Chain A
Amino acid sequence: MATTELHRPGVVEKARPRTKGKPLSVGRIALYLTLTVVSLLMVAPFVWMVLTSLKTPVEIASQDAGLLPEHWEFGNYVDALKAAPFATYARNSFIIAFSHTLINVVVASMAGYALARIKFRGSEVIFYLFIAALMIPTYTKVLPEFLIVRFMPLAGGNDIFGQGGSGWLDSWWALIIPGAVTPFAVFLFRQFYLDLPVELEEAARLDGLGEFRIYARIMTPQVKPALTTVALLTFESSWNNFLWPLLVTRTDSLRVIQVGLSVFKTENGPQWHFLMAGTTLATLPMVVLFLIGQRYFVQGFATAGLK
């Protein structure tokens, strides 16, 4: 079902209300009230997070303080950045998420294009391999992935057999390369390229364009929604990733924001005002990204169903 809807981005928005202009009935008011309560319950934790980040430690510790801060301590954010290198963490997360996005969009769109439009020996088998790869749970592959990184030959002091050093551990390579291309992106791109008209491709071929140019100049500009969807989803999941960066980094300077927050919590005890300021910083970019590219997120998630 999702596959067919892929080609209509924003389908969720499109269906027009059936009962437009109907006067407000009691049932309708009840519906609004229920949805308002549900929405408040969903948003309340974030509001609480922001409110806490603006309180003084004294106020946080006080038993009879109200829910709102007495003085809005915007200075907490400045102090939090001094208490822990949250700015470095955020920068690291950004570099990784940006690299993942760039690599995934280029490599996966190329593969998706080839699998959709070019029949070559083994292309069908390769497509099914990607589908199978899509279904492998993280925890089935994460341990060997760690070992591959650890024993990467000729890296981090390792010899050709991967012995002697620490390989890619604690390096940008480990943070960027293993998660750079996702089978989901290959699958999604393939679905989009499948539906482009053959005439487009054939006209370009008659004009003497090479296969790679047909992909890059003619076909890819036609699947912009797919590019946006993959880019946004890749960036989001990369920014939010925790387990992998936790496993492969030790040094503070390479920590990503999610790991940085977790370490700050363990090492400094519950300094809630700083912790919530840091969490706000970690959350805000994704909320903004989601609000901007909502319809693409919705499409992508409806297809993937997985975070």
Chain B
Amino acid sequence: MGATSVLKARPARPPSPTEHTVAKKRTGRAPTGPGRRRQRAGMLMVAPALLHASLWIGLPVVASVVLAFTKYDVLTAPQFVGLDNFRDMLDDAVFRKSIVNTVIYTFFTVPFGMMLGLLVALALHTGLKARGIFRTAVFIPQVTATVAIALVWLWIYNPGNGLLNTLLSFLGIQGPAWLSSTSWAMPSVILVGIWQGIGMKMLIYLAALQSLPKELYEAASVDGASKVRQFFSITLPLLKPATFFVLITSMISAFQSFDQIYILTDGGPANSTTMMTFEIYKSAFREFRIGYASAQSLVLFVLLMGFTLVNRRIMGGTRGHN
């Protein structure tokens, strides 16, 4: 990459004054004839998508920043309150708890999910027969609605006759009330998160593994490097862009988990599983504090951006997957 950029760099030469004016004249005049018609067609074709994005993404982003500095209950006009919402947030023990929970949830689901995803990908990469079946099985939770999955797990975790405690009772163990215990609720939610997310991580790793150059491994084998050594010296370093991509995208999804919390625990017991997204939802749609909720969503956004930038730094300037 460094080489190409050097090749591409041209010696800087200040444009001569005549060149400058000619160029200016040319761009100043609208193109005529077929070129112009082409341009107009291009604008027309991009217009619907652009309008849609302006109204449903651009405007909301701006509005969200503005609303964060207001007090607003939908019924009366918003009132500018400066930094009050952010000050309130500092005193909001539940919101603080939700930040901690979100971070805990992310820091357990993402690395463990990535490790398992990579292991499954490595296993599938060995060229087994019937690998398609295994891949499909691992990936199916990913295409299933989180609500549906959460409902199934709600029933699995059922303390009386749920699958988990039934299986444990075969071993003579009396399982806890998973989702209504302050110590077990979060691990239970995390387990569902890991389980659902393995498929995606496996898939990206598998695609990355298949694009690795075979020659390197052949050369390493000739040099007598063991499989383990090959994994740590060749595979893992070459998987860095994929790892960065998986890390970022998984963190963004984990930070925005909502459906499973809504169905499994409703944030409880005693706020032990509430997440930032769930607090935003509660502030806005149960307490009608739109301004406060907007401020909370701004904090979520800043945290996500911050994590992304820190990751990029740690991963050594890898530009990611795309």
Contact residues of A with B, CB < 8 Å? 1-3, 5, 11-20, 28, 31-32, 34-36, 38-46, 48-49, 52, 60-63, 65, 67, 107-108, 110-111, 113-115, 118-121, 123, 126, 129-130, 133, 136-148, 150, 177-181, 183, 186, 205, 210-212, 215, 236, 239-240, 242-243, 247, 258, 261-262, 265, 270, 272, 275-276, 279, 282-283, 286-287, 289-291, 294, 297-298, 301-307
Contact A186 B49 (CB under 8 A): yes
One of B136-144, B174-182, B229-237 at the interface: B136-144
Does A42 contact B140, Cβ atoms closer than 8 Å?
yes
Contact partner, A265, options B140, B151, B259, Cβ 8 Å: B151
Contact across chains for A143 and B293 when beta carbons are under 8 A apart: yes
Q: What residues on B are CB-neighbors of A12 within 8 Å? A: 135, 203, 206-207, 210
Residue in B55, B137, B294 whose beta carbon sits within 8 Å of that of A148 in the complex: B55
Chain A's closest residue to B122 (CB) is A31
Q: Could you tell me if A297 and B46 are in contact, using CB atoms closer than 8 angstroms? A: no
Docked complex Cα distance between A118 and B38 (Å): 7
Q: How far is the CA of A165 from the CA of B276 in the complex (A)?
A: 31
Within 8 Å CB of B131, what residues of A?
A: 17
Contact status A63-B161, CB under 8 Å: yes
Instruction: Give Cα A183–Cα B53 distance, bound, in whole angstroms.
Output: 8
| B147 touches which of A236, A261, A298 (Cβ 8 Å) | A261
Q: Which of B41, B127, B156, B248 contacts A45 (CB 8 A)?
A: B156
Contact partner, B46, options A31, A61, A115, Cβ 8 Å: A115
Select one of A20, A63, A147 contacting B63, CB under 8 A: A147
- Check A143–B284 contact: CB distance below 8 A: yes
Interface SS majority for chain B? helix
Could you tell me which residues of chain B, from 84 to 103, have a CB within 8 Å of some CB in chain A?
none
- Report if B104 contacts A (CB, 8 A): no
If A111-B45, A137-B301, A212-B41 touch, does A242 touch B145 (CB 8 Å cutoff)?
A: yes
Of B136, B160, B298, which is in contact with the most chain A CB atoms at under 10 Å from its CB?
B136
Q: How large is the interface on B (under 10, 10 to 19, 20 to 34, 35 or more residues)?
A: 35 or more
With contacts A212-B45, A305-B321 known, is A240 near B210, CB below 8 A?
Answer: no
CA distance A184 to B226 in the complex (A): 42
**Closest chain B CB from A185 CB (angstroms):** 9
Q: Which A residues touch B304, using CB under 8 A?
A: 137
- CA distance in complex: A195, B288 (Å): 49
Q: Distance (Å) between the CB of A67 and the closest chain B CB?
A: 7
How distant is B58 from chain A, measured CB to nearest CB, in Å? 7
Residue with the highest number of chain B CB atoms closer than 10 Å, among A43, A48, A63, A287: A48
Contacts of A108 in B (CB 8 A): 49
Q: How far apart sit A62 and B163, CA to CA, in the bound complex (Å)?
A: 13
- Given known contacts A258-B147, A306-B253, is B301 in contact with A140 (CB within 8 Å)? yes
* Shortest Cβ distance from B255 into A: residue: A137
User: B272 near A: Cβ within 8 Å?
Assistant: no
Q: In the complex, given contacts A5-B207, A120-B38, A307-B142, what are 11 additional A-B residue pairs having Cβ atoms less than 8 angstroms apart?
A: A2-B322, A12-B206, A17-B128, A111-B50, A147-B290, A205-B34, A261-B151, A279-B152, A287-B144, A298-B207, A303-B322
Residue of B nearest to A39 (CB): B137
Given the known inter-chain contacts A17-B128, A265-B263, please indicate yes or no for A286 contacting B152, CB distance below 8 A.
Answer: no
Which A residues are in CB contact (< 8 Å) with B160? 61, 63
Query: Of residues 221 to 252 in B, which have CB atoms within 8 Å of A's CB atoms?
Result: 241-242, 245-246, 248-250, 252
Question: Are B252 and A258 neighbours in the complex by a CB distance under 8 Å?
Answer: no
Q: Does B80 reach chain A (CB closer than 8 Å)? A: no
- The distance in angstroms between the C-alpha atoms of A145 and B53, with both chains bound, is 11
Given contacts A17-B128, A139-B277, are A275 and B294 in contact (CB under 8 A)?
no
Q: Are B207 and A39 in contact (CB under 8 A)?
A: no
Question: Would you give the shortest CB distance from A268 to chain B, in whole angstroms?
Answer: 13
Complex formed: what's the CA distance from A68 to B195 in Å?
A: 23
* Residues in A neighbouring B255, C-beta threshold 8 A: 137
Complex CA–CA separation, A115 to B48 (angstroms):
13
A46→B304 CA distance, assembly (Å): 32
Alpha-carbon distance A17/B210, docked complex (angstroms): 11
Let me know if B155 and A272 touch, CB within 8 A. Answer: yes
Q: Are B60 and A240 in contact (CB under 8 A)?
A: no
Indicate if the CB atoms of B53 and A133 lie closer than 8 Å: yes
Closest to A214 in B: B41
Give complex CA distance A290, B263 in Å: 24
B41, B42, B55 — most chain A CB neighbours (10 Å)? B42
B124 at the A interface (CB under 8 A):
yes
Choice from A17, A138, A179, A305 contacting B204 with Cβ under 8 Å: A305
Which residues does chain A contribute within 8 Å of B248, judged by CB atoms? 305
CB closest chain-B residue, reference A44: B163
Can you show 8 pairs from A to B with CB atoms below 8 A apart? A32-B128, A60-B161, A67-B166, A120-B42, A211-B38, A261-B148, A301-B200, A305-B200
